[in-house]
Amino acid sequence: MLFSHFILAAALLLASDVLATPETVVWFAQPGTAFTDSLMIGNGRLGASVWGGTSSDNIALNEDTLWSGGPYNPIHPGAHAALLTARAQINAQNWTDAEATINANVLGNPSSQTNFQTAGALVITTNHNTVSNYRRQLDTATGLVTTSYVFGGVTYTREYLSSAPDNVIAVHINSTASNAVSFTASFSTPQTVTSSSATASTVIVTANNTAEGVLPSAITFEKRMQVILSDGSSAAAGTNEITVSNATSATILISISTSFKNYADGSSQSPSARNTAVFSKIASTAWTSLRSRHIAAYTVLFNRFSIDLGNDAALSALPTDQRVARNMATFDPGLVSLFVNLGRSLLIGSSQPGAVQPANLQGIWQDGLTASWQSKYTININIEMNYWPAEVTGLSDCVEPLARMMEDVSVTGQSTAQTLWATTNTAKSSGLPPWVVHHNTDQWRATWPIDDARYGMWPTGGAWELQTLWEHFLFNPSNTTFAKRIYPLFAGSSQFFLETLVPYAGNSSWLVTNPSMSPEKEHPGNAADCSGPTLDNTLIRDVFQQTVTLASLLGVDSAFAAQITATRAKLPPFLIGSGGQLQEWLIDWDSTPSAFSHISPLYAVFPGSQIDPLSNATLAKAAAQLLVFRGPGDFGWPIAWRIPVYARLMDANNALNQLKLLLGDLGVYRGLLGKNSVFQIDANLGGAGGIIEMFLQSHNGEIRLLPAVPTVLPAGTIKGIRARGGYTVDLTWSNNQLASAVVTATIAGAKTMNVRLKNGPTLVALSLGQGQSRTFTSTDFA
Ligand SMILES: *[C@@H]1O[C@H](CO)[C@@H](O)[C@H](O)[C@H]1NC(C)=O
Ligand SMILES: *[C@@H]1O[C@H](CO)[C@@H](O)[C@H](O)[C@H]1NC(C)=O
Ligand SMILES: *[C@@H]1O[C@H](CO)[C@@H](O)[C@H](O)[C@H]1NC(C)=O
Ligand SMILES: *[C@@H]1O[C@H](CO)[C@@H](O)[C@H](O)[C@H]1NC(C)=O
Ligand SMILES: *[C@@H]1O[C@H](CO)[C@@H](O)[C@H](O)[C@H]1NC(C)=O
Ligand SMILES: *[C@@H]1O[C@H](CO)[C@@H](O)[C@H](O)[C@H]1NC(C)=O
Ligand SMILES: *[C@@H]1O[C@H](CO)[C@@H](O)[C@H](O)[C@H]1NC(C)=O
C-alpha cells in the first residue's frame, strides 16, 4: 500500500517518466467516459463505481437487495399436461412443435424475472474543468480507489472505499492547500423518490423500487449521506444537496438500506432504522480509522494469495487502457497477474460472507445514471463462473451468500417440481423433497422455466449450481457440518431426477431428461429442445455420485443411495460423433463446425472432471475436437470458459491464445471489466479462477503442477493456491521448469492426493497432517 502511494506521488511529479506500477493497480490517466471504464469497490453488500470526473464526479451506488418487483411464484397451473405433450413431440422428433407447446402452455406467469437495480449515484460537483496530472486508480490490494489531479496549482485527492467492518461507502476529499476544498454533493435517483430532505450535514432520500411487469413494487429504500468537515462550512441546498465551502478536507459517508427481509418478504424491515444503526455505530469515527479498519478487513482476504508472472517494465508503466489495447499484439504477462488480482477484488467486493445476495451478472454493480438492464442469476453457466476463483485463490468464505441462495431455491423449487414435473413431494428420511430450478433465478428465488422454451426449458440448473457447494466441500473435506448442511439439497435434487428421468426414445435402456436442452444451443431441428443432452447426463451423474458419497459419509439413507446408484448406471454414456467430436446430444447432430458461445458438453472437462486426458484419452480428444468446432469465444465469458478447458486438456498454447483474446479488445473493456453487450462480471471472475488451472490443478485424486504453462511465461511465483483435499500450494518455476512447490496441509484430515508434474508419469503419494509441508522440486519427478 505504501508502495503504491509512493508511485502515485511520483507519477504526479514525473508524469513523463517511465515508472513501474505493481500489478495490483488498475489505473487511467483520464476520468471514465462510460460505466464500463469505471472503477469498482464493494463490501459484498454496498457497491460503488467511480467515474472520477473533476468537473462532476459520478459515483454509481448499489445495494445488493435492491431488485425490481416483489415476492412471487410464477407458477403456471396445468403446465404439466403441456409438458407431457412436449415430451411426446420431442420423442416424435417434432422439435418446433414441442417448443411451440412449451412457449404457449408451460412458461411461467409472468414469463420473465425481476432484475437487480441501481440505487442511483452520488454526484460531486467541483467545476474543476481544466486540470493537469490526472490519475484515477483502483488498488486491488487494498480495495481503495483514488483520483488525483492539479487544479489552480493545488493537488486534489479523493479516496473512495466500501467498508465491510463499518458497512458504509466513504469518499474522502483533501488537497495540498488549506481551505481549498469546495464542492456540492447530491444524490441522483432513477426510481420514484418518495421523500428527500437536506441539512448542512445530511441528505436523506427515500424511494421505491420499480415494478416489474405485473409485479408491483414491494421494496422501499433509503439513501443517507453524511458530510464531515475538518473546517470550512456547509449548507443545505434544496432538499437533495449539500454545499461545502473552504474546507481543508471532507469525508462523505453513505449508507443505503432497503426494506427487504427475505425472498418471501420484501417490505417488513425499516430502511431508516437500518441506516440509523449504521451511522450511530460509526458516530465520530475519524476518516483515518475508517480507512485503516477497511484495509485491515480487506487484506485478511486479499493477502491469502499472490501472483507474479513476471512483467515487462515498459508495459507495466502504462495506464491499464493502453496495456489492454496493446495486449493482442504484444503479450503482457503482468496484465495477466493484474487481471487475476482484479478478479479477486471483484469477488471480495460482491460476495463477502456478510452479503445478503450472491454476485449476479454484474456482481453488485450497475450504472447509476442510466436505466437498469437485465441482471439476474443465470445458472446455465454464469453464476457458476462467478465462483471459480473462490476456492483456488483462497476466498472460500465468499461462497456463503451462494450457499444461502441454494438453500432458498431448494425450498422454492419444490412447488415447481410438484406442479410442473408432477413429483410426489415426499421427503426422504434425511433429504429435502424433490426440487428443481431452471435456467434463471432472482432475489425472489423464482424457479419456473421463463423467457422462451429455447432458454428456459432446462431442468438441470439446480444440479449445476450445486457444483459450487460440492467444490467447497472438496476443498474443505473435513467439515462435516458443511456436509450435513448440504446433504438435504443434494438428496432433494437427486430425488427430483429419480422421479422425472424417462426412457430415451432412441434407446429405452437409457434414462434421460425430457424436455430439456443443451443450454441455448439450437440443433438442426431449428429448435433447442431435446432429451438427454450430454450436459444433463454428466451433471446428473455427478449429483447422483455426490449424494451417495455424502449419504455414506453421514451414515444415512443407504436404501436411497442404492436406488440412486442403480439409476445412475442407466444414464447414457458419452458418445463420439462422426466428426470425431464429443457429442452435444444423443443424436450425432454436430459433426461439422458450428461456432457458439456455450460449450456445455465440455462441463465434463471443466469445471467437472469426468473427462480427464490422462485417464480418458479418447474422450479427451473428442472434447478437443468439439472445442475446435465451437470456435474461440468472441466476447468475455465464452473466452474465459475456454481457458480452463484447454488447461485441463493440457493444451498450453490454446489456453494462451484464449488468454490473449480475453485480455484484449474482444474480452474486456478498457479497464479490464468483462465485455458483453454490457459489463458482465463472469468474464472477470470465471477468468481469474480459470487462469489458475494453467498453473495448478487438483482433481481426480491428483495435484498437477504446471499442467499448461506456455513458454511465454517461463518464470513465476504463485503463493496460496488452494488444492482439493485440503492443501495450499506455493509454486515457483523458472526456465519453464519447476523450481519448487511447497504443499501444505491446511486442515486436519486432509485427503491423500497423488502429485504429478505436468503430464509426466511419476506420482508421489502425499498424506500430511495439519500444518505439515512437503517441498517438491523437478528432481522429485525425475
Ligand atoms: C409429429 O408430427 C407429425 C407430422 O406433422 C404428426 O403426424 C405426428 O402426429 C406428430 N407427433 C406428435 C407426437 O405430436
Ligand atoms: C489526503 O488524503 C490521502 C488519503 O487519505 C492521504 O494519503 C494524503 O496524505 C492526504 N493529503 C493531505 C495533504 O492531507
Ligand atoms: C412507495 O411504497 C410505499 C410502501 O409500499 C407506498 O405506500 C407508496 O404509495 C409508494 N409510493 C409511490 C410513489 O409509488
Ligand atoms: C470561502 O473563502 C473565500 C476566499 O477566502 C471567501 O471569499 C468566501 O466567502 C468563503 N466562502 C464561505 C462560504 O465561507
Ligand atoms: C464448516 O461449515 C459450516 C457450515 O457451513 C460453517 O459454519 C463453518 O464455518 C465451517 N467450518 C470451517 C472450519 O470452515
Ligand atoms: C442402447 O443402450 C445400451 C445400454 O447402454 C447399449 O448397450 C446399446 O449399445 C445402446 N444401443 C444403441 C443403438 O445405442
Ligand atoms: C475415465 O477414466 C477413469 C479412470 O480410468 C475411469 O474410472 C472412468 O470411468 C473414465 N471415464 C469415462 C467417462 O470413461
Mean pLDDT of the region 338-346: 98
3-class DSSP state of 144: strand
C-beta of 294 in contact with ligand 2 (< 6 A): no
Q: What is the 192 CA–ligand 3 centroid distance (Å)? A: 9
**How many residues in the chain?**
782
Position 10 confidence tier, pLDDT thresholds 50, 70, 90: very low
Answer yes or no: are the C-beta atoms of 166 and 293 closer than 8 Å: yes
Cell triple for 599: 460449450
Supply the Cα-derived Rg of the chain in whole angstroms. Answer: 26
Nearest to 706 by CA among 714, 698, 715, 696: 696
What is the rounded CA–CA span in Å between residue 504 and residue 586? 9
14 CB-contact burial (10 Å; exposed 0-12 / middle 13-18 / buried 19+): exposed
pLDDT, tens digit (0-9, with 9 covering 90-100), for 406-464: 999 999 999 999 999 999 988 888 889 999 999 999 999 999 999 999 999 999 999 99
Atom of ligand 3 nearest to the CA of 207: 1
Percentage of the chain with pLDDT > 90? 93
Position 9 confidence tier, pLDDT thresholds 50, 70, 90: very low
Cell triple for 727: 492443501
DSSP letter, residue 702: E
The domains spanning 25-67+119-305 and 92-114+379-573 adopt the same CATH topology:
no
Domain ranges of the chain: 25-67+119-305, 92-114+379-573, 716-781
CA angle 688, 466, 449 (to 5 degrees): 105
Task: Give the closest ligand to the alpha carbon of residue 505.
Answer: 6
Fold of the domain built from segment(s) 25-67+119-305:
Beta-galactosidase; Chain A, domain 5 (2.70.98)
Residue predicted with more confidence, 11 or 294: 294
Atom of ligand 5 nearest to the CA of 482: 2
3-class DSSP state of 12: helix
Instruction: Output the residue whose Cα is nearest ligand 5's atom 4.
Output: 482
- How many CB atoms sit inside 10 A of residue 284's CB? 6
DSSP letter, residue 287: H
pLDDT, tens digit (0-9, with 9 covering 90-100), for 196-212: 999 999 999 999 999 99
pLDDT, tens digit (0-9, with 9 covering 90-100), for 630-687: 999 999 999 999 999 999 999 999 999 999 999 999 999 999 999 999 999 999 999 9
Cell triple for 489: 439439497
Q: CB within 6 Å of ligand 5 — which residues?
A: 476, 479, 481-482, 485
Cell triple for 579: 466428426
3-class DSSP state of 335: helix
Atom of ligand 2 nearest to the CA of 159: 4
**Predicted TM-score of the model (pTM):** 0.96
Answer yes or no: are the C-beta atoms of 500 and 425 closer than 8 Å: no
- Written as one letter, the residue type at 773 is S
Task: Give the closest ligand to the alpha carbon of residue 622.
Answer: 7
pLDDT, tens digit (0-9, with 9 covering 90-100), for 610-634: 999 999 999 999 999 999 999 999 9
Instruction: Output the residue whose Cα is nearest ligand 6's atom 11.
Output: 507
With the CA atoms of 346, 349, 351 and 356 taken in that order, what torsion angle do they form, in degrees rounded to the nearest 10?
-150
pLDDT, tens digit (0-9, with 9 covering 90-100), for 78-126: 999 999 999 999 999 999 999 999 999 999 999 999 999 999 999 999 9
- Written as one letter, the residue type at 507 is N
Over the range 571-610, which residues count as b (16 or more CB within 10 Å of their CB) and which as e? Answer: bbebbbbebebbbbbbbebbeeebebbbbbbbbbbbbbbb
What is the rounded CA–CA span in Å between residue 122 and residue 187? 5
Atom of ligand 5 nearest to the CA of 400: 5
Q: What is the 161 CA–ligand 2 centroid distance (Å)? A: 14
| pLDDT for 635 | 97
Position 587 confidence tier, pLDDT thresholds 50, 70, 90: very high
Q: What is the 483 CA–ligand 5 centroid distance (Å)? A: 9
Q: What is the 616 CA–ligand 7 centroid distance (Å)? A: 6
Mutate to test the pocket of ligand 1, among 93, 94, 96, 526 (most ligand atoms within 8 A of CB): 94
Answer yes or no: are the C-beta atoms of 614 and 654 closer than 8 Å: no
CA angle 215, 221, 227 (to 5 degrees): 155
Q: State the chain's mean pLDDT as an integer.
A: 95
End-to-end CA distance of the chain: 41
Position 14 confidence tier, pLDDT thresholds 50, 70, 90: very low
With the CA atoms of 159, 162, 165 and 166 taken in that order, what torsion angle do they form, in degrees rounded to the nearest 10?
80
698 CB-contact burial (10 Å; exposed 0-12 / middle 13-18 / buried 19+): buried
Cell triple for 347: 469477488
pLDDT, tens digit (0-9, with 9 covering 90-100), for 149-171: 999 999 999 999 999 999 999 99
Q: What φ, ψ does residue 492 adopt, rounded to 5°?
A: -65, -35
Answer yes or no: are the C-beta atoms of 519 and 380 closer than 8 Å: yes
Cβ within 8 Å of residue 377, ≥6 positions away: 358, 360, 361, 383, 405, 440, 441, 442
C-beta of 139 in contact with ligand 2 (< 6 A): no
Instruction: Output the residue whose Cα is nearest ligand 1's atom 13.
Output: 89
What is the rounded CA–CA span in Å between residue 420 and residue 435? 11
Nearest to 585 by CA among 14, 95, 237, 256: 95
CATH of region 92-114+379-573: 1.50.10.10
Instruction: Output the residue whose Cα is nearest ligand 5's atom 5.
Output: 482
Give 575-626 as a DSSP string: -B-TTSPBPSSSS----S----S--GGGGGTTTS-SS-TTT-HHHHHHHHHH
DSSP letter, residue 116: B
Q: What is the 45 CA–ligand 2 centroid distance (Å)? A: 27
C-beta of 101 in contact with ligand 1 (< 6 A): no
Cell triple for 515: 424436455
What is the rounded CA–CA span in Å between residue 427 and residue 143? 45
What is the rounded CA–CA span in Å between residue 161 and residue 286? 14
pLDDT, tens digit (0-9, with 9 covering 90-100), for 479-516: 999 999 999 999 999 999 999 999 999 999 999 999 99
C-beta of 92 in contact with ligand 1 (< 6 A): yes
DSSP letter, residue 54: S
Cβ within 8 Å of residue 674, ≥6 positions away: 636, 637, 640, 667, 668, 680, 681, 682, 683, 684, 687
Cell triple for 627: 472445442
C-beta of 292 in contact with ligand 2 (< 6 A): no
Q: Is the pLDDT of residue 709 over 90?
A: yes
371 CB-contact burial (10 Å; exposed 0-12 / middle 13-18 / buried 19+): exposed
C-beta of 542 in contact with ligand 2 (< 6 A): no
Instruction: Output the residue whose Cα is nearest ligand 2's atom 1.
Output: 174
Q: What φ, ψ does residue 319 adopt, rounded to 5°?
A: -60, 150
Q: CB within 6 Å of ligand 6 — which residues?
A: 507, 509-510
What is the rounded CA–CA span in Å between residue 542 and residue 213? 38
What is the rounded CA–CA span in Å between residue 418 and residue 87? 17
Q: Is the pLDDT of residue 7 over 50?
A: no
Answer yes or no: are the C-beta atoms of 60 and 118 closer than 8 Å: yes
With the CA atoms of 425, 430, 435 and 437 taken in that order, what torsion angle do they form, in degrees rounded to the nearest 10?
180
Pairing of strands 702-705, 696-699: antiparallel
3-class DSSP state of 21: coil
Answer yes or no: are the C-beta atoms of 707 and 759 closer than 8 Å: yes
pLDDT, tens digit (0-9, with 9 covering 90-100), for 37-81: 999 999 999 999 999 999 999 999 999 999 999 999 999 999 999
What is the rounded CA–CA span in Å between residue 447 and residue 414? 9
C-beta of 174 in contact with ligand 2 (< 6 A): yes
**DSSP E strand boundaries for 279-334:** 306-308
The Cα diameter of the chain in Å comes to 83
